[in-house]
């Protein structure tokens, strides 16, 4: 058992620590000498891809959150409208699907019942379906027009960590490819983005190597709360959703994620002295807006835990605990900023005496509706 866990106390930790490798492996062979993103497995020609005028990303659970991150990049690099939807909803509604619709189905296991049903439905309606999965030969792989494998290797802990990172990196490559196809990313820009994307492997490693103590302190500060609120803006909001899900899954502490600008329309009513607010507060165009949202929480006595950019000296004035991540461009921030939230969830779960690898009531893959 210990050997299987590679010397780590649990699979969740082992898998979190594998993430720098997952980033590197997922990128191998994906940039051609001419500066083009190479995803042969897509099964669509350049011309067919050029016709794509709408993207739906369908998935469940953590995989759905990878989609939320990709939406931002697809829309900003390719200017193609992109919707992200739970497969369990998508399959039962009359989504607008035409032959120029690309459906991207994301599933670690490749066998989630709702995701598979949504794939089948989309293909009947004429969409092209591209699968992103971690399991070679899985139903999602077999039933999609094209498939890209995340290079996470087998994931054992029920709560997904390294697969998520593999999904986000794969979806980022897809977004870059669409940007190129639409003539919006030059080979030079693509090369630079690709290099920055690869750099996230080292940044994750740095978080793993340097932030454990800060994360443990932050975990102790919220382990005995009855509820926690995760907030962020832009990409930070997407990261918050995954942070809250991870915490709920493994620690059974109720957590909710909110786009920080929306707090004043409801969640701020929850805040009372000591209430934990976990903020994805990395430097971005909306940083100042987020800080002012956090000041509202501080004024009501919230205990603020911030994931912030290295070198940010301002955030410590309002946050009780700060976990630092290296600076990245906004597009790749989620790959790095999600990692401390995974570790935070794990620490809180351990402090609450939970089994981090096998949370109650959850299954690794959900093959029935």
* 241, 192 Cβ separation under 8 angstroms: no
x/- track of binding to ligand G6P for residues 95-114 (CB under 6 A): ------------xxx--x--
CA-based nearest residue to 63, from 160, 177, 186: 160
* 44-63 binders of ligand G6P (CB under 6 A): 60-63
Binding residue (CB under 6 A) for ligand G6P from 50, 210, 212, 365: 365
CB of 309 to ligand G6P, least distance (A): 28
In the bound state with ligand G6P, the residue whose beta carbon lies nearer, of 88 and 293, is 88
Between the alpha carbon of residue 141 and those of residues 38, 138, 210, 257, 268, the distances in Å are 18, 5, 38, 31, 43
Using DSSP, how many helices (H) and how many strands (E) does the chain show?
13, 10
Q: Which residue has the tokens 């709920």?
A: 248
Question: Could you tell me where the beta strands, DSSP code E, fall in the chain?
Answer: 54-59, 82-86, 101-107, 128-133, 146-149, 227-232, 254-259, 276-281, 303-309, 321-325
Check 5, 125, 327, 364 and give the catalytic one: 364
x/- track of binding to ligand G6P for residues 61-80 (CB under 6 A): xxx-----------------
CB of 40 to ligand G6P, least distance (A): 23
CB of 360 to ligand G6P, least distance (A): 12
Active site residue 206: no
In the bound state with ligand G6P, the residue whose beta carbon lies nearer, of 329 and 362, is 362
In the bound state with ligand G6P, the residue whose beta carbon lies nearer, of 184 and 252, is 252
* 367, 87 Cβ separation under 8 angstroms: no
| 243 belongs to the binding site for ligand G6P (CB under 6 A) | no
In the bound state with ligand G6P, the residue whose beta carbon lies nearer, of 63 and 284, is 63
* 130-189 binders of ligand G6P (CB under 6 A): 158-160
The token pair at 173 is 């490559």
Rounded CA separation 165/146 (Å): 20
CB of 172 to ligand G6P, least distance (A): 17
In the bound state with ligand G6P, the residue whose beta carbon lies nearer, of 36 and 155, is 155
Rounded CA separation 13/336 (Å): 16
Rounded CA separation 208/193 (Å): 23
CB of 20 to ligand G6P, least distance (A): 21
Q: Which residues of the shown chain bind ligand G6P in the complex (CB under 6 A)?
A: 60-63, 107-109, 112, 115, 158-160, 362-366
Active-site amino acid positions: 364
């Amino acid at each position: 058992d210990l050997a299987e866990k590679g010397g780590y106390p649990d699979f969740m930790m082992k898998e979190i620590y594998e993430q720098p490798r997952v980033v590197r492996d997922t990128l191998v062979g994906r940039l051609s000498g001419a500066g083009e993103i190479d995803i042969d497995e897509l099964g669509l020609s350049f011309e067919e891809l050029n016709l794509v005028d709408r993207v739906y990303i369908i998935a469940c659970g953590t995989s759905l959150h990878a989609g939320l991150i990709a939406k931002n990049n697809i829309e900003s690099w390719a200017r193609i409208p992109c919707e992200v939807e739970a497969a369990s909803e998508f399959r039962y509604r009359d989504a607008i699907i035409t032959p120029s619709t690309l459906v991207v189905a994301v599933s670690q296991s490749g066998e989630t019942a709702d995701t598979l049903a949504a794939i089948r439905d989309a293909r009947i309606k004429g969409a092209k379906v591209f699968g992103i999965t971690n399991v070679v030969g899985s139903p999602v792989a077999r039933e999609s027009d094209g498939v890209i494998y995340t290079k996470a290797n087998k994931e054992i802990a029920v709560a997904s960590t390294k697969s998520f990172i593999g999904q986000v990196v794969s979806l980022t490559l897809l977004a870059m490819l669409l940007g190129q196809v639409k003539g919006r990313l030059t080979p030079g820009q693509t090369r630079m983005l690709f290099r920055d994307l690869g750099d996230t492997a080292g940044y994750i490693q740095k978080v793993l190597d340097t932030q454990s103590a800060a994360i443990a302190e932050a975990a102790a500060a919220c382990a005995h709360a009855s509820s926690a609120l995760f907030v962020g803006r832009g990409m930070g909001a997407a990261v918050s959703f995954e942070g809250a899900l991870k915490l709920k899954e493994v620690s059974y502490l109720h957590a909710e994620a909110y786009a920080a600008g929306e707090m004043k329309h409801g969640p701020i009513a929850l805040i009372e002295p000591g209430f934990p607010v976990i903020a994805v507060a990395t430097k971005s165009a909306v940083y100042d807006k987020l800080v002012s949202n956090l000041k509202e929480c501080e004024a009501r006595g919230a205990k603020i835990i911030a994931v912030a950019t290295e070198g940010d000296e301002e955030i410590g004035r309002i946050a009780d605990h700060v976990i630092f991540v290296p600076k990245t461009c906004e597009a790749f921030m989620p790959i790095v900023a999600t990692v401390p939230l995974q570790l935070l969830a794990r620490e809180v779960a351990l402090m609450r005496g939970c089994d981090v690898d096998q949370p109650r009531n959850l299954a690794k893959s959900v093959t029935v509706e």
